[in-house]
Amino acid sequence: MKYLVTGGAGFIGSAVVRHIINSTEHSVVVVDKLTYAGNLNSLADVSESERFAFVKADICDQEHITQVFSEHKPDIVMHLAAESHVDRSIDGPAEFIQTNIFGTYVMLDVARKYFNGLEEAQKRAFRFHHISTDEVYGDLDGTDDLFTEETSYSPSSPYSASKASSDHLVRAWNRTYGLPVVVTNCSNNYGPYHFPEKLIPLMILNALEGKALPVYGNGEQIRDWLYVEDHAEALFLVATNGKIGETYNIGGHNEVANIQVVRTICGLLEEIRPEKPAGVENYADLIEFVTDRPGHDVRYAIDAAKIEKDLGWTPKETFETGLRKTVEWYLANESWWTSVLDGSYARQRLGNENS
């Protein structure tokens, strides 16, 4: 089988690509625009495989995407390409509307035309897997409620609203045009190769440099944390075996308040990297509460019973084991994150049209 993975040089996308190349016999074609969040260094371990191909392309460019489908003839599409940072969406929503909504439309339209031209056996195997977020559901009021696949949408930010829109488009293409789709909505991911603007890598790297650890509001916002490699396995399982037209929520069964996440990181660093920057006595002393984000959701929590029951998936990592692996990875892979922080990784965007 050949998998076309959009956004495959991003955080979750690269984990999916590494999983397919390292754990299966399938082939992968990565389509990525290489925006600030796309990093070919995240694919270095698999880029030499004869089953790997990379195409630098914008999912909003219908002509180029049509060419990619025509040339590579995918059996399964895994659509992860998206703008995904809430703060960026508040500061500049237009890019989120363009990429997440119009880009998804382009992918669906090209996939529909491609699908209609396939032989019947190929049609039976084809899937369009749209990867989304639990943020489309808004937030939860109680302490015991969980997001299910039937939860009504109530997005709070331009980011989550754009992803909600893309989810609706995907389901409409299934019902109106018969495109075989599956949809997944995941909780907050963390793990290796995470772009440093996100909470966990930002806290790790700021602490290592003796910088402030900024925590929004009182830090009591609760998220369900999912280790990215667990998520990659779940996504591959849904893309391959998920039932057409179905939605699967993917969560880590790890509800933790943001302030506790930061304190746990500090504790791990005290243990693993006790040599601190000058002037820092305890990593936790760097914690600084800052003005809360506008419209900040209070609690997310996923009910992942359906994917466990239907497909047999459960996460392997607890938050404790996954966070320790994450901290250890950043300590052991300084060259990856320093190239991001100093901007040198961005040079790969030039001249990487095809490889």
Cα 159 from chain centroid?
A: 13
Q: Above 50 in pLDDT, residue 353?
A: no
At residue 317, the 3 state secondary structure works out as coil
DSSP state letters, 242-303: PPTT-EEEE--S-EEEHHHHHHHHHHHHHHH---PPTT-S-GGGGEEEEPPPTT---B--B-
Question: Of 37 and 228, which is predicted with more confidence?
Answer: 228
pLDDT at 349: 55
pLDDT at 19: 98
Query: In the Cβ-directed half-sphere of 91, how many Cα atoms lie within 13 Å?
Result: 7
Q: Above 50 in pLDDT, residue 292?
A: yes
Q: Above 90 in pLDDT, residue 318?
A: yes
Q: Above 90 in pLDDT, residue 346?
A: no
Q: What is the pTM of this model?
A: 0.94
pLDDT at 68: 98
Q: Above 80 in pLDDT, residue 304?
A: yes
Residue partners of 8: CB distance under 8 A and separation at least 6: 14, 16, 17, 28, 30, 31, 32, 43, 54, 80
**Closest residue by Cα to residue 114 from 60, 75, 172:** 75
Question: Of 296 and 107, which is predicted with more confidence?
Answer: 107
Segment 86-92 mean pLDDT: 92
pLDDT at 348: 63
Q: What are the tens digits of pLDDT across the range 93-130?
A: 999 999 999 999 999 999 999 999 999 999 999 999 99
Sequence letter at residue 14: S
> Which domains can be identified in the chain, with CATH numbers?
2-349 (3.40.50.720)
pLDDT at 97: 97
Q: What are the tens digits of pLDDT across the range 166-193?
A: 999 999 999 999 999 999 999 999 999 9
pLDDT at 101: 98
Q: Give the residue numbers annotated as catalytic, written as ranges.
A: 134-135, 159
pLDDT at 17: 98
Dihedral through CA 202, CA 203, CA 206, CA 211, nearest 10?
130
Contact between residue 175 and residue 330 where contact means Cβ atoms under 8 Å apart: no
Q: Which residue has the tokens 């190349």?
A: 21
